[in-house]
């Protein structure tokens, strides 16, 4: 795929972040999400790809835009597209840290078409690649990651979604002596942060959304990190969807290569609210905003952090960039 695509994807996530950020802390997660969806969808119209959404806002009858199976782009390279215009809608609505706008792109057929269900995940950075086993005890994984990073377990920071289903996981990490950062929503950014030393995050563990798992895997593929996952279907319908994907054992271990089959993958995320990985949108004047983004390219391993200043037109309600 063309190297220019990396910057084009950044423009798309910037647009979504700018559209959503105006509604930070205003309690309306649906509107914050819809504005981001509108902006992201419009952004794809200017990108030279023949894209099919494989991770999106839901099925065709659930989402009017960026639905699974929708074709996006202005024509060009055939690709799979994974999107989450606002990863952490509750975070935006409540003005909490960690919300991002995110896009991943890979050649057609190379992203797992993950159904909207739970997925168990463990994600680490390059220094701990090959040192995780989702079927092994939690303490063993912590020990292996600590050894790989030249740390004691007590030096590790583990990010876990603060959910009742994670009570035993949290207790095991505490008993092992690891430090824990509990998050209320949004596990894509922490998974990516685990692959960047400066964030202070060492490992992501727990059960979250399967679509978010594929987005995180795309970033980890670019960064040289590692991830293992298992789908966690909750009913017969979800089991049937897994089997329709070709998974004879719906809870089989999925490696990073199962989730993202190509090195030729692109990932872009822009902060909406502040987090370990990215700063949120900042306003320095009535019509001026600053965004902070990360752009990743798998074939070269290039990591770009991009800070951009945007001149905004506040009519209509969402953003318009002045080129």
The 10s digit of each residue's pLDDT in 237-281 is 888 888 877 777 878 999 999 999 999 999 999 999 999 999 999
Q: Confirm or deny that 163 is annotated as ligand binding.
A: yes
The pLDDT of residue 2:
62
Q: Confirm or deny that 212 is annotated as ligand binding.
A: yes
Q: Confirm or deny that 8 is annotated as ligand binding.
A: no
Can 4-109+265-319 and 118-259 be said to share one CATH topology? no
Q: Confirm or deny that 133 is annotated as ligand binding.
A: no
Q: Which two tokens stand for residue 130?
A: 């090959």
Q: Confirm or deny that 187 is annotated as ligand binding.
A: yes
pLDDT band at 319 (very low <50, low <70, confident <90, very high): very low
Q: Per-residue pLDDT for 323 more than 60?
A: no
pLDDT band at 110 (very low <50, low <70, confident <90, very high): very high
Fold of 118-259: D-Maltodextrin-Binding Protein; domain 2 (3.40.190)
Q: Per-residue pLDDT for 40 more than 60?
A: yes
271 forms beta bridges with: 100
Beta carbons within 8 Å of 193's beta carbon, 6+ residues apart: 159, 199, 200, 201, 275, 276, 277
The pLDDT of residue 61:
67
Q: Confirm or deny that 56 is annotated as ligand binding.
A: no
Stretch 90-94: mean pLDDT, rounded? 97
Q: Per-residue pLDDT for 321 more than 60?
A: no
Domain chopping of the chain, boundaries: 4-109+265-319, 118-259
Q: Confirm or deny that 175 is annotated as ligand binding.
A: no
pLDDT band at 114 (very low <50, low <70, confident <90, very high): confident
Q: Confirm or deny that 238 is annotated as ligand binding.
A: no
Evaluate whether 10 touches 268 at the Cβ level (below 8 Å). yes
Q: Per-residue pLDDT for 1 more than 60?
A: no
Q: Which two tokens stand for residue 137?
A: 């005890």
Q: What is the pTM of this model?
A: 0.93
Q: Confirm or deny that 50 is annotated as ligand binding.
A: no
Query: Does the domain formed by 4-109+265-319 have CATH 3.30.565.10?
Result: no
Q: What percentage of the chain exceeds 90 in pLDDT?
A: 83
Q: Per-residue pLDDT for 296 more than 90?
A: yes
Q: Per-residue pLDDT for 322 more than 50?
A: no
Q: Confirm or deny that 84 is annotated as ligand binding.
A: yes
Q: Confirm or deny that 155 is annotated as ligand binding.
A: no
Stretch 124-151: mean pLDDT, rounded? 97
What is the Cα–Cα distance from 288 to 292, expressed in whole angstroms? 14
Evaluate whether 142 touches 173 at the Cβ level (below 8 Å). yes
State the chain's mean pLDDT as an integer: 93
Which of 98, 96, 85, 89 lies closest to 193 in space, CA to CA?
98
Q: Confirm or deny that 225 is annotated as ligand binding.
A: no
Q: Per-residue pLDDT for 292 more than 90?
A: yes
pLDDT band at 192 (very low <50, low <70, confident <90, very high): very high
The pLDDT of residue 175:
98
Q: Confirm or deny that 88 is annotated as ligand binding.
A: yes
Three-state SS annotation for the chain:
CCCCHHHHHHHHHHHHHHHHHCCCCCCCHHHHHHHHHHHHHHHHCCCCEEEEEEECCCCCCCCCCCCCCCEECCCCEEEEEEEEEEECHHHHHHCCCCCEEEEEEEECCCECCCCCCEEEEEEECHHHCCCCCCCCCHHHHHHHHHHHCCCCHHHCEEEEECCHHHHHHHHHHHHHCCEEEEECCCCHHHHHHCCCHHHCCCEEEEEEEHHHHHHHHHHHHHHCCEEEEEEECCCHHHHHHHHHCCCCCCCCCEEHHHHECCCCCEEEEEECCCCCCCCCCEEEECCEEEEEEEEEECCCCEEEEEEEEEEECCCCCCCCECC
Q: Confirm or deny that 57 is annotated as ligand binding.
A: yes
Q: Confirm or deny that 274 is annotated as ligand binding.
A: no
What's the gap between Cα 177 and its chain centre? 28
């Amino acid at each position: 795929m063309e190297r220019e695509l990396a910057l084009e994807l950044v423009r798309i996530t910037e647009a979504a972040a700018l559209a959503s950020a105006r509604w930070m802390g205003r309690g309306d997660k649906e509107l914050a999400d819809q504005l981001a969806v509108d902006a992201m969808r419009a952004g794809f119209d200017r990108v030279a790809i023949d894209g099919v959404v494989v991770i999106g806002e839901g099925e065709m009858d659930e989402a009017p835009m960026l639905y699974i199976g929708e074709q996006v782009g202005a024509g060009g390279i055939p690709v799979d597209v994974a999107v989450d215009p606002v990863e952490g809608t509750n975070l935006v609505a409540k003005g909490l840290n960690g919300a991002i706008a995110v896009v991943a792109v890979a050649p057609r057929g190379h992203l797992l078409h993950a159904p909207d269900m739970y997925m168990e995940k463990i994600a680490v950075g390059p220094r701990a690649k090959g040192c995780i086993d989702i079927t092994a005890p939690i303490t063993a994984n912590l020990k292996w990651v600590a050894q790989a990073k030249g740390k004691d377990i007590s030096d590790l920071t583990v990010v876990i979604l603060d959910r009742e289903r994670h009570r035993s996981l949290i207790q095991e990490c505490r008993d092992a002596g690891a430090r824990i950062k509990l998050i209320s929503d949004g596990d894509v950014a922490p998974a990516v942060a685990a692959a960047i030393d400066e964030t202070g995050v060492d490992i992501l563990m727990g059960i979250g959304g399967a679509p978010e798992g594929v987005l995180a895997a795309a970033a980890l593929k670019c960064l040289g990190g590692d991830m293992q996952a298992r789908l966690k279907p909750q009913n017969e319908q979800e089991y049937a969807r897994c089997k329709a994907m070709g998974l004879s054992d719906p809870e089989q271990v999925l490696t990073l290569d199962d989730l993202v089959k190509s090195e030729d993958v692109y990932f872009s995320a822009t902060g909406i609210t502040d987090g370990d990985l990215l700063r949120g949108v900042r306003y320095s004047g009535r019509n001026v905003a600053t965004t902070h983004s990360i752009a990743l390219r798998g074939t070269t391993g290039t990591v770009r952090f991009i800070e951009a200043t945007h001149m905004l037109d506040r009519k209509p309600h969402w953003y318009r960039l002045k080129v």
